[in-house]
Amino acid sequence: MPPKGKKSGSGRENRGDEEQTDEKLQAVVFADSFETRFSPFTIERPRCLLPLAGTPLIEYTLRFLAATGVQQVYVYCGNHTDAVEDYLNRSQWKASTAPFSLEIIKSASRSVGDCMRDMDAKGRITGDFIAVYGDVVANIPLQDALAAHRARREKDKKALMTMVLREAGQVHRTKSPQQRRVFVLDPDSHRCVHYEQLRPGETAVLDIPGDVLEDHVELEVREDLIDCGIDICTQEVLAQYTDNFDWQLPRRGFLYGTLKDFETYQYTVHTHVVTKGYAARIISLRAFDAISMDMMGRWTYPLTPDFNILPGQSFKQYSRNVYLEDGSTMARTTQMGHQVILGADTTLGEHAAVTNSVIGRRCIIGARAKIDGAHIWDGARIGDDAVIEKAIIGNDAVIGNGCHVENGALIGDRVHISDGIKVSGKHRITRLKRKRGRNHDETVEMPADPQIVGPDGTGFHMEIDEEEEEVLNTLVAGVQDLSLIDDDSISSIDEDSDDDLAAPHMRGDSARSDSFASAASDESGETRQKAKDFHQEAVHSMVDDMAKGNSIDDMKTEFKALILGVNADDTQIQRVTATAFSKRLSQIVEAGKTPKEAVSELIPTYTEIITAYVSSKKEQAAWLLYLQSDLVHRKQGSRILLYLSNALAQDDTFEPDGFELWWNDARSSASEEMVAVRKDTEPLVDALCASDEEESEEDSDDDDDDDDDDD
């Protein structure tokens, strides 16, 4: 490793004026992910241009930077430079009205480290900057993180970088199953003092240096954080990459090296943990699918399909989170399920059935075709009677009549599958093969394999290197599972996620496998998916109705229609109403009102939506448990629980026995968080129970008096 004291690179000649406050906020975007995880789709185009819910990925990243107030953006391209350059030059981001200046940097870089060293040599960065991948989807406000970074930098010039991390959960489907990222943090300084990536099967033992343990009174070991791929960097970060030519990756290179050499150079890396908003990277196909579903479920608001990010888009939202673009058509007998996107000029044939799927523009879906959990990109054609199960179909691909594309199959651009062919979920079919070159890669078209694509087909199964086999299998795995209502739902990224409504102790203790090919989940998975869809849509509808001040009768009518649509049971219904009240009250509090004022807005106006479905003492206890669990992570959740409980008790909506059953339920105190959120309500419950006991004693005395009179 070269000496850290050496200062090389033209970008570091004039760094003395770092205290200036009027410098432009700059950003470096890595448009190339520098790996092959998304093959075969990235053979011809970069990951950042893959369509997420009908919009190229990089659009979400650039919109995030615009919302953050970035004034100058540098986009680094490696492979597919021409494609990225052509797209951006024609985009709104190069227009005179763009919120920032954008420069595309062509480079032979093959890693993030190469890009950083090249940027250092070019000397374009003049102050602190944001480093971000071109596949980030986020609506989180970054102003607090920037302010904390700058304040820290004013006090300590050796504070090099702030990593933006999103609090989520230990098990989370946006995390790579191949890597368990563990951050060891100092809770006072928010400094990252140790970092490890554990692989599956490894014993969960951290090798924390002794001096780290000696130097810190308290440490937090965090495996519940999502690495958003967003770093706030100082110019010195570029210098460190240049001085350490072997650093290629932000975490396993820069972060690990900086931590290892702390005693020598005293450089520090800090964290900013976000607890609100949405932030994730498209690090895998499973994340690609999950974030698409979240967009349709509106957890990424305002980044939803009907926001129409691109000029010329015309999506409109309909019931059950269906989004149709102008010009899309379907037959009268088409069956449209929950969470579907149809692009412009796409047609669905007679008796075709589509659910939980994204279908691009100019697609043709044949008669009686069945599509579930699939991503079908622009110009694809699906034949009559074809079945597509949780697969990805590339641009202009053709799936013949009667074909069956199994869970997990990846069909590349312009591949043609002959009629009647069954495509295994293990197949990744492409027409092209990438050949590595010295300065850039080349692609060549390969002969078709009739055993894979049929006699009239085009394409072959793409073999991958043995070292990538395990990783790719895991990355592909889970497109089927992502739609399930499971503990590691990506929706928990969002502060209002309804997949996190039930605390872990209230859920089934099932850590589901990410196996892509298993058919065992078909029936149970469909049931869970319907339950998830019902919950999300019903909560969204109810919260929206309360926000708009709609009448209780209208709410009940709409809710009843949703209930009948999936034959929802009492437990599902009670969970929806509890979650909706929690969410709406939280929104009102977030808007500036006190919890007491928030409760008075909903009670007694909407009390009937509770009493219509909750009557017995056991149901009241269950409802309170759902409410408590959802309020655990909400702002002033303990005060909301107190005032809502008091309101329900005062108007006799809930009985003291119902409160007592809830309080004594072991699940109500199963975690520190659950205990904390109900603490303020304890005096109320004690008073209710005491009052109830007094009434019972009085009733007993009255009965005794009556008996005496009879004597």
Domain ranges (residues) in the chain: 23-281, 311-476, 527-695
pLDDT at residue number 208: 82
Average pLDDT over residues 514-521: 29
Of the candidate ranges 170-184, 188-202, 606-620, the one whose mean pLDDT is the lowest? 170-184
- Give Cβ neighbours of residue 88 (< 8 Å, ≥ 6 apart): 58, 75, 94, 102, 104
pLDDT at residue number 440: 56
pLDDT at residue number 106: 85
- Give Cβ neighbours of residue 517 (< 8 Å, ≥ 6 apart): 406, 407, 408, 424, 425, 426
d(CA 510, CA 523): 17
Residue 207 has pLDDT above 60, yes or no: yes
CA-nearest of 77, 134, 143, 80 to 105 is 77
pLDDT at residue number 423: 96
Of the candidate ranges 121-125, 469-473, 592-596, the one whose mean pLDDT is the lowest? 469-473
Of the candidate ranges 95-104, 246-255, 514-523, the one whose mean pLDDT is the lowest? 514-523
Q: Phi first, then psi: give them for residue 247, nearest 5 degrees.
A: -80, 120
Residue 588 pLDDT level (bands cut at 50, 70, 90): very high
Residue 198 pLDDT level (bands cut at 50, 70, 90): confident
CA-nearest of 400, 360, 60, 399 to 230 is 60
Average pLDDT over residues 61-66: 96
Residue 443 pLDDT level (bands cut at 50, 70, 90): confident
Residue 255 has pLDDT above 70, yes or no: yes
Which residue in this structure is represented by tokens 């971000």? Answer: 132
**Is 480:390 a contact under the CB 8 Å cutoff?**
yes
Residue 441 pLDDT level (bands cut at 50, 70, 90): low
pTM: 0.66
Count other Cβ atoms within 10 Å, centred on residue 481.
25
Residue 18 pLDDT level (bands cut at 50, 70, 90): very low
pLDDT digits (tens, 9 = 90+) for 208-251: 888 888 888 889 899 888 888 999 999 999 999 999 888 888 98
Residue 167 has pLDDT above 90, yes or no: no
For residue 373 the two structure tokens come to: 């959990």
pLDDT digits (tens, 9 = 90+) for 476-495: 444 433 332 222 322 333 33
**Is the model more confident about 496 or about 570?**
570
Which stretches of 135-274 are assigned E, i.e. beta strand? 136-138, 159-167, 180-186, 191-198, 220-222, 225-233, 268-274
pLDDT digits (tens, 9 = 90+) for 368-427: 999 999 999 999 999 999 999 999 999 999 999 999 999 999 999 999 999 999 999 999
pLDDT at residue number 31: 87
pLDDT at residue number 590: 86
Domain spanning 311-476, CATH class:
mainly beta
d(CA 585, CA 547): 10
For residue 67 the two structure tokens come to: 């919302």
pLDDT above 90 covers what percent of the chain?
52
d(CA 605, CA 599): 10
pLDDT at residue number 541: 87
CATH number, span 23-281: 3.90.550.10
CA-nearest of 307, 304, 286 to 296 is 304
pLDDT at residue number 6: 41
**Is 442:398 a contact under the CB 8 Å cutoff?**
no
Of the candidate ranges 3-7, 611-615, 663-667, the one whose mean pLDDT is the lowest? 3-7
Instruction: State the average pLDDT for the chain.
Output: 82
Residue 431 pLDDT level (bands cut at 50, 70, 90): very high
Residue 12 has pLDDT above 80, yes or no: no
- Per-range mean pLDDT, top range of 141-150, 277-286, 466-475, 507-516: 141-150
pLDDT at residue number 36: 63
Residue 54 has pLDDT above 70, yes or no: yes
Residue 704 has pLDDT above 70, yes or no: no
Residue 336 pLDDT level (bands cut at 50, 70, 90): very high
d(CA 412, CA 631): 44
Residue 690 has pLDDT above 80, yes or no: no
For helices 552-566 and 521-548, angle between their N-to-C axes, nearest 10 degrees: 170
Which stretches of 140-264 are assigned E, i.e. beta strand? 159-167, 180-186, 191-198, 220-222, 225-233
CATH number, span 527-695: 1.25.40.180
Average pLDDT over residues 327-354: 95
CA-nearest of 199, 189, 346 to 269 is 189
pLDDT at residue number 412: 95
- Give Cβ neighbours of residue 404 (< 8 Å, ≥ 6 apart): 386, 387, 389, 421, 422, 423
**Is 362:356 a contact under the CB 8 Å cutoff?**
no
Residue 88 has pLDDT above 90, yes or no: yes
CA-nearest of 618, 546, 600, 617 to 576 is 546
**Is the model more confident about 648 or about 489?**
648
Question: What is the chain's alpha carbon radius of gyration, rounded to the nearest angstrom?
Answer: 28
Residue 345 pLDDT level (bands cut at 50, 70, 90): very high
Residue 256 has pLDDT above 80, yes or no: yes
CA-nearest of 282, 253, 280, 219 to 117 is 253
Residue 528 has pLDDT above 70, yes or no: no
Which residue in this structure is represented by tokens 């595309």? Answer: 104
Residue 520 has pLDDT above 50, yes or no: no
Residue 695 has pLDDT above 80, yes or no: no
Average pLDDT over residues 626-630: 93
Count other Cβ atoms within 10 Å, centred on residue 367.
17
d(CA 579, CA 630): 6
Of the candidate ranges 384-393, 449-458, 501-510, the one whose mean pLDDT is the lowest? 501-510
For helices 81-89 and 57-68, angle between their N-to-C axes, nearest 10 degrees: 60
The pairing of beta strand 353-355 with beta strand 335-336: parallel
Of the candidate ranges 117-126, 282-291, 423-432, the one whose mean pLDDT is the lowest? 282-291
Residue 272 pLDDT level (bands cut at 50, 70, 90): very high
CA distances 36 to 33, 148, 447, 550, Å, are 8, 36, 22, 50
CA-nearest of 49, 412, 426 to 399 is 412
Residue 366 has pLDDT above 80, yes or no: yes
Question: What's the distance, CA 392 to chain centroid?
Answer: 19
Of the candidate ranges 242-251, 502-511, 547-556, 592-601, the one whose mean pLDDT is the lowest? 502-511
d(CA 397, CA 416): 6
**Is the model more confident about 74 or about 5?**
74
Residue 649 has pLDDT above 60, yes or no: yes
Residue 56 has pLDDT above 90, yes or no: yes
